[in-house]
Amino acid sequence: MDFCNMTLSQIQSFLAGNGQELDEESITALSCDPRAGVRKIYQRICRERVLAEQERVRLGKMTIYERDALDKGFRFIAGVDEVGRGPLAGPVAAAAVILPVGIFLPGLNDSKKLSPAKRDCLFREITKQAVSWSVGFASVEEIDSLNILQASLVAMQRAVSSLQKGPDYILVDAVRIPGIKIPQLPIIKGDGKSVSIAAASIVAKVTRDRMMEELEKLYPGYGFAGHKGYGTPEHLEALKAFGTCNLHRKTFTRNFTAAKVQGKLW
């Protein structure tokens, strides 16, 4: 590309659509341009390329478990994770995601480490490109009757069984899912170590958050759209003012009520 005969504005317009796909000859041409503005563009592109390479390396490390499963002959590897164990209200949600081999999703990570905007962006890409994905829930009533751990496992079972394309291997965050005959590998803090589990954590988180935003319309005043059922000061004040509603986990709010009586809350 002959950048010497282009204005700075023309170069910027050209790079807006092609900056990540420049060949080495074009990069060299930018580096030799004597104009200060072009040199700044060249330096920015160099920084972006370094960051992109660092991201490829990071995500490469997060495919270790997937590559190991592929080497063993498995082809459809599902990552499974849950969200919503800690809230005082709302269901627990689990997602199962089978990613295509070789997928590259910059920014993919444990959902807790991402902004809502980044989670939404990645959710769109994951659900668009995934071989198969699904979400399972366990209700407030099931949480109260089973306990939160068992309810989380139920949600995971439902997510796996709802996949349109059945997996032949499962990577799970921290736990082993009972009642599943498919080979599975629990990975401690797996949402930060496996791209498949990270994808599942994002799908579960975004789906549950959107559900809580809708439930705010049915139960106004509690602030579910904001805190998503977690025990924030706003939520605790709403409980003080209105008491519990059908979305609240009795086994959870009972403990908070006891703490309140002892002077530990409010």
pLDDT tens-digit map of 147-182 = 999 999 999 999 999 999 999 999 999 999 999 999
pLDDT above 80 (res 16): no
pLDDT above 60 (res 107): yes
* Cβ contact 40:65 at 8 Å: no
pTM: 0.84
Q: What angle do CA 239, 244, 250 make, to 5 degrees?
A: 115
Confidence tier at 122 by pLDDT (50, 70, 90): very high
Q: Which domain holds residue 219?
A: 214-261
13 vs 2, more confident: 13
Same domain, 167 and 201: yes
Please give the Cα distance from 203 to 105 (Å, whole number): 14
Neighbouring CB atoms inside 10 A of 54's CB total 10
- Please report the pLDDT score of residue 170 as a whole number: 98
Same domain, 148 and 246: no
- Count of structural domains within the chain: 3
Same domain, 141 and 185: yes
- The values of phi and psi at residue 121, to 5°, are -65, -45
**97 located within any domain:** yes
Same domain, 231 and 203: no
Same domain, 122 and 199: yes
Average pLDDT, the chain: 91
Confidence tier at 48 by pLDDT (50, 70, 90): confident
